[in-house]
């Protein structure tokens, strides 16, 4: 079945959508929990995860620039590994976005309590779900423009925080002349106040903060110039996100003692402005953080629905998921994904204080699986070129195969941290159970001969180009 998606996302929209998918409540709100767990050593988590993400995105970029198709990494896994692995990866990615949006909505509810502490945590999430479901049913060009400006606001929030933090550190302008220095990283209980276990316990929250960046590849199915747009986007988005994440965390932990968070609840990005006596700025930053959460949810619903659409095209889920409305939007897939997210609103209502960490660690495990599949797929993909693809591929991974191998080693280490941490162990097992369920269901599909046959990547690229 041919794709009926409209190719109307521009290069600038795709680049910003990738940033929009990754910068969300996981960074702004989740930083509170991760810093409390690891102290200043949380920077180690951000650096390690940043290296893994850079390797994964370069691996994904090699395949996507060569063959920009709807379904992205699940399609590549189906082609170079097996249709079963491709299907399971697609299901895991859908699960990831469902869990991510659930956690983002819970985070938004807690951020609203900055102004109204007694306001129900679940209610803002319900309102947001209604709004971004409507957004996703509009023409994809309108969706892309909305997300472009949402992503711009996110970047503005992080840069504003970094600028004020640097002023606080080097001028003392907001702290009565007392200059804050980088010594805050080790003078309040040491750099690793909670030891290696603290770093491991914070790892899943940091992974979730980076999660979603691979959405860039899924958007290739609706790019109006996929090869040019994706080379530009892959070349810039990882660097931008790494600078914003690691830079903002380093500044935050230097600008004021991390122990301040032990006695105050809320986003560190907001607390810094409150602490230096700029309540209006704190309110503005909180609004920007909430908008970033809404943006990430909007992107999550988009990504999850497009994955269902892709699965419907190859016959592994109901063909109804491939139906599109007059705006070329897979509206049935949007509604099904939105209804699944609604379960998270119910969970938030029942357990408002625990839901964020529970669901966040489950979604982080799902995305870790996807990152692993992407790297393994690239290794198999490159072997088709006998490992020497500098002439055949436009965006080949450098230093192959060392980079993919390093990525897999980091991935195994991070997964071990997930299992060791008592905070995330239970919810990670929930993700593992979903993975097992996908294996069982894929086995049923295989026995029924409903899993798609392998498709040649070159044929897919030719078909995809003809549809533009």
Judged against a pLDDT cut of 70, whether residue 160 lies above it is answered with: yes
Judged against a pLDDT cut of 60, whether residue 241 lies above it is answered with: yes
* CB count in 10 Å sphere of residue 14: 27
Provide the β-strand partners of residue 9.
Answer: 223
Judged against a pLDDT cut of 80, whether residue 334 lies above it is answered with: yes
Confidence band of 1 (pLDDT split at 50, 70, 90): very low
Q: What is the reported pLDDT for 405?
A: 94
Confidence band of 137 (pLDDT split at 50, 70, 90): confident
Report cis status (omega within 30 of 0) of the bond before 401: yes
* CB count in 10 Å sphere of residue 359: 26
What is the mean predicted confidence (pLDDT) over 18-34? 65
Judged against a pLDDT cut of 50, whether residue 462 lies above it is answered with: no
Alpha helices in 23-82 (DSSP H): 25-28, 30-38, 42-66, 73-80
Q: What is the reported pLDDT for 458?
A: 45
How far is CA 372 from each of CA 178, 181, 290, rounded to the nearest angstrom? 46, 38, 31
Judged against a pLDDT cut of 90, whether residue 409 lies above it is answered with: yes
Q: What is the reported pLDDT for 32?
A: 75
Q: Looking at domain 12-467, what is its CATH homologous superfamily? A: Amino acid/polyamine transporter I (1.20.1740.10)
Least Cα distance to 90 among 408, 310, 298 occurs for 310
What is the mean predicted confidence (pLDDT) over 122-129? 85
Cα-based angle 303, 309, 315 (whole degrees, multiple of 5): 140
Q: What is the reported pLDDT for 376?
A: 94
344, 105 contact by CB (below 8 A): yes
Angle between helices 30-38 and 355-383 (to 10 degrees): 90
Judged against a pLDDT cut of 70, whether residue 386 lies above it is answered with: no
CA dihedral 131, 134, 140, 146 (to 10 degrees): -20
Q: What is the reported pLDDT for 464?
A: 40
How far is CA 215 from each of CA 61, 242, 346, 351, 431, rounded to the nearest angstrom? 12, 16, 26, 29, 20
12, 228 contact by CB (below 8 A): no
Judged against a pLDDT cut of 80, whether residue 354 lies above it is answered with: no
Token pair recorded at residue 219: 């958007």
How far is CA 325 from each of CA 333, 348, 439, rounded to the nearest angstrom? 11, 32, 32
Judged against a pLDDT cut of 90, whether residue 410 lies above it is answered with: yes
What are the residue boundaries of the structural domains of the chain, listed by start? Answer: 12-467
Judged against a pLDDT cut of 90, whether residue 372 lies above it is answered with: yes
What is the mean predicted confidence (pLDDT) over 428-439? 83
pLDDT in tens, 168-204: 777 766 655 555 677 888 888 888 988 888 888 888 7
Mean pLDDT taken over the chain? 76
Top mean pLDDT of 19-28, 255-264, 408-417, 442-451 is at 408-417
Least Cα distance to 241 among 149, 151, 167 occurs for 151
What is the mean predicted confidence (pLDDT) over 211-226? 63
Judged against a pLDDT cut of 80, whether residue 330 lies above it is answered with: yes
Percent of the chain with pLDDT over 70: 74
């Amino acid at each position: 079945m041919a794709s009926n998606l409209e190719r109307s996302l521009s290069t600038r929209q795709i680049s910003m959508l990738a940033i929009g998918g990754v910068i969300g409540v996981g960074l702004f709100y989740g930083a509170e929990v991760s810093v409390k767990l690891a102290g200043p050593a949380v920077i180690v988590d951000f650096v390690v995860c940043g290296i893994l993400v850079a390797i994964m995105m370069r691996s994904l970029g090699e395949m996507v620039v060569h063959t920009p198709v709807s379904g992205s990494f699940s399609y590549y896994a189906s082609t170079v590994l097996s249709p079963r692995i491709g299907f399971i990866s697609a299901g895991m990615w859908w699960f990831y976005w469902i869990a991510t949006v659930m956690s983002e909505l819970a985070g938004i509810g807690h951020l609203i309590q900055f102004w109204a502490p007694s306001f129900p945590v679940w209610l803002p999430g319900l309102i947001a779900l209604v709004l971004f479901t409507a957004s996703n049913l509009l023409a994809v060009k309108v969706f892309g423009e909305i997300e472009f400006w949402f992503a711009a606001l996110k970047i503005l929030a992080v840069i504003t925080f970094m600028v004020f933090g640097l002023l606080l550190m080097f001028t003392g302008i907001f702290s009565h002349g007392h200059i804050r220095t980088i010594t805050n990283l080790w003078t309040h209980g040491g750099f690793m106040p909670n030891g290696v276990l603290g770093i491991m316990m914070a790892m899943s929250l940091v992974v979730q903060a980076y999660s979603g960046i691979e959405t860039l590849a899924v958007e290739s199915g609706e790019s109006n110039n996929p090869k040019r747009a994706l080379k530009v986007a892959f070349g810039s988005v990882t660097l931008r996100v790494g600078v914003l994440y690691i830079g903002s965390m380093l500044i935050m932990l230097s600008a004021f003692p991390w122990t301040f968070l032990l006695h105050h609840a809320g986003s560190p990005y907001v607390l810094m402005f409150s602490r230096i006596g700029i309540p209006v700025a704190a309110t503005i930053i909180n609004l920007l953080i909430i908008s970033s959460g809404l943006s990430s949810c909007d992107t999550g619903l988009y990504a999850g629905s497009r994955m269902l659409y892709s699965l419907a095209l190859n016959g592994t889920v109901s063909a109804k998921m491939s139906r599109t409305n007059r705006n070329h939007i897979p509206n049935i897939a949007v509604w099904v994904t939105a209804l699944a997210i609604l379960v998270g609103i119910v969970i938030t209502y029942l357990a408002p204080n625990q839901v964020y960490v529970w669901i966040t660690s489950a979604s982080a495990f799902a995305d870790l699986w996807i990152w692993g599949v992407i790297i393994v797929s690239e290794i198999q993909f490159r072997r088709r070129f006998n490992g020497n693809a500098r002439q055949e591929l436009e965006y080949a991974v450098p230093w192959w195969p060392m980079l993919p191998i390093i990525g897999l080693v980091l991935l195994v280490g991070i997964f071990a941290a997930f299992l060791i941490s008592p905070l995330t162990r239970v919810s990670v097992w929930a993700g593992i159970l979903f993975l097992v369920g996908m294996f069982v269901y894929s086995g049923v599909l295989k026995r029924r001969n409903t899993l798609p046959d392998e498709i040649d990547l070159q044929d897919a690229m030719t078909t995809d180009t003809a549809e533009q």
